[in-house]
Amino acid sequence: MTRASQRLLAGDKRALSQVISLLERHDPATSQVLKEIDPHTGGAYTVGITGPPGAGKSTIVDRLTELLRQQGLTVGILGVDPSSPFTGGALLGDRIRMQRHYLDSGVFIRSVATRGQSGGLPRIIKGMVRLLDAAGTDLVLVETVGVGQSELGIMGVADTVVVTLMPESGDAIQTLKAGIMEIADLYVVNKADRDGSEQMATTIRAMLQMAPTQPDWTPPVVLTQARSGDGISELWDKVEEHRQYITTSSELATRRSQRRKQEFLETVEEEVGRRLRAMMHSNPDFVATLELVANKNAEPYSSAMQLVESSYGSADWPGSLTGTVT
C-alpha cells in the first residue's frame, strides 16, 4: 500500500487534501490510491443540499455542521461552485464559505469548481466523497451550485437529497415543475419567517399527494430559519429518518451499487473523450479526417462511425464493455 493511502486511512487531513488536489489535476497517481482505499469505504453517509441560488444552502450547511459537531460527528463539506472564466477555479473559497469551522479539526472543507461539466457536479466529487469516507469522516455534506435542472447530478452522489427553497423562489407551482423537484428525498422551505413560506410548504405537500403513485417514502417538508438555527434540528431528524428508511429497505445498498456503475461508465466516457481530444493534435490520420469533414469532403456522422468501428470492430460495437456492468 502506498504511503499516501496509509496516511489517508489514518485520518491525516494533510494527506487527504493532497490526494484531492491530485484528483482535481487528474494525476494518474490517484488511481492507485482510490483502488487501495476502496475496501475501507462505505461508512460515511452523504447528504446533498441543492436548490436555487439565494435559498440559503450555505447557511443550512453551516448550521447542520454545527449541530453534527455538537453530537461528536466528523463532517466533510464539499461546496461545488461556479468555475472562474479566467482561472477555471471555484469562484467561492472555503474560507469565505465556512469561516466558523475552518480551524475545526473535525471538519474538512473543500470548494470544488464545476469546470463546465454537465449535471451541476464534476465527476471527481464522487472520488472525493470516497476519500473523505476512507479518512474516517462520519457525514459528507455536498452543496451544489444551484442552477436548476442541471442539479440532477446530485442523485449520483448523495444518499439523501435535500432540496432547499424559499418563499421568494417565485410561483410555487412553476418551481415544483423544475427538474430539481423530482429528485428530493426531503424538502426545506428556508427563511420561514418571510411571507409565503407556509403557503409554499402547503403547496409542496399538496403536489406530493397528487403524485400518480405513492412511494413508501413521502418526502417531508421542513420549515427552517437557517440564520437563527430554527428548524435545523428538525431537518436533521428527518434526514436520520430517511437514512433509517433506505437502510432497512435495502435501498441504500441499491443506490450505492447503481452509483458505482454510473461512475465507472462516466469515467470511461471522460477518459475516452480526453484521449480523443489529444488525438486532434497528435494523430495524423485523425487530423486528416477532421479536415475532410470540415471541408465537406466527408460526412460527419458516417466518418465518426467508421472511426469507432475501426477502433472497436463493427461486430463488437458498442462492445462487451457496457455488457460487463449491466
**Mean pLDDT confidence for 300-306:** 91
Higher model confidence: residue 275 or residue 325? Answer: 275
Sequence-ordered list of residues with C-beta below 8 angstroms from that of 160, at least 6 positions apart, any chain: 45, 46, 47, 48, 185, 186, 239, 242, 243, 246
Q: Are residues 176 and 288 in the same domain?
A: no
Give the end of a domain, one of 216, 232, 249. 249
Judge whether residue 241 has pLDDT over 90: yes
Are 303 and 233 found together in one domain?
A: no
Q: Long-range CB contacts (< 8 A, 24+ apart) of 314-321?
A: 321/268
Residue numbers of the domain that contains 305 = 256-323
Exposure b/e, 90-103, CB count within 10 A at least 16 = b = bebebeebbeebee
**Nearest to residue 182, comparing CAs of 45, 46, 50, 47?**
50
Q: Residue 238 has what pLDDT?
A: 97
Range from 214-223, 295-304, 308-317 carrying the lowest mean pLDDT: 308-317
Which residues face 142 on adjacent strands?
48, 78
3-state SS of 215-258 is CCCCCCEEECECCCCECHHHHHHHHHHHHHHHHHCCHHHHHHHH
> In this structure, are 55 and 20 located in the same domain?
no
**Number of folded domains in the chain?**
3
From 249, 267, 288, give the residue that closes a domain: 249
Confidence of residue 279 (pLDDT cuts 50, 70, 90): confident
Give CA–CA dist 93/256, Å, rounded: 29
Q: Where are the alpha helices (DSSP H) in the chain?
A: 3-9, 13-24, 29-37, 57-70, 94-97, 124-134, 172-177, 197-209, 232-248, 251-282, 284-294, 300-312, 320-323
111 and 18 share one domain? no
pLDDT at 244 > cutoff 90: yes
CA distance 202 to 209: 11
Assess whether 30 and 48 both reside in one domain: no
* Co-location of 121 and 211 in the same domain: yes
Cβ atoms of 116 and 123 within 8 Å: the answer is no
Question: Given a cut of 90, is residue 1 above it in pLDDT?
Answer: no
Average pLDDT over residues 205-219: 78
- The pLDDT of residue 211 is 67
Q: Whole-model pTM?
A: 0.84
Please state, in angstroms and as integers, the Cα–Cα distance from residue 135 to each residue in 98, 105, 141, 253, following that order.
Answer: 21, 13, 15, 21
Residues in a beta bridge with 75: 107, 139
Q: Which residue has the higher pLDDT, 33 or 175?
A: 33
d(CA 30, CA 183): 31
> In the prediction, which pLDDT does 28 show?
87
Beta 139-143 vs 75-81: how paired, if at all?
parallel
Min mean pLDDT across 93-97, 170-174, 188-192 is at 93-97
pLDDT higher than 50, residue 202? yes
Same domain assignment for residues 198 and 108: yes
Average pLDDT of the residues in 70-85:
81
Q: Is the pLDDT of residue 262 over 60?
A: yes
Boundary-marking domain end, from 249, 281, 301: 249
pLDDT at 221 over 50: yes
Residues 5 and 103 in one domain: no
Rounded Cα gap, residues 116 and 122, in angstroms? 8
Give me the pLDDT at residue 113, please.
75
What string of DSSP letters covers 21-71?
A: HHHHTT-THHHHHHHHHGGG-S--EEEEEE-STTS-HHHHHHHHHHHHHHT
Paired residues of 161 in beta bridges: 48
Residues 184 and 289 in one domain: no
User: How large is the average pLDDT for residues 194-209?
Assistant: 87
Same domain, 195 and 292: no
58 and 179 inside one domain? yes
CATH of the domain at 206: 3.40.50.300
The mean per-residue pLDDT over the stretch 288-293 comes to 92
Same domain? For 214 and 311 the reply is: no
Arithmetic mean of pLDDT, 110-138: 81
- Smallest CA-to-CA distance from 125 within 101, 98, 153 is with 153
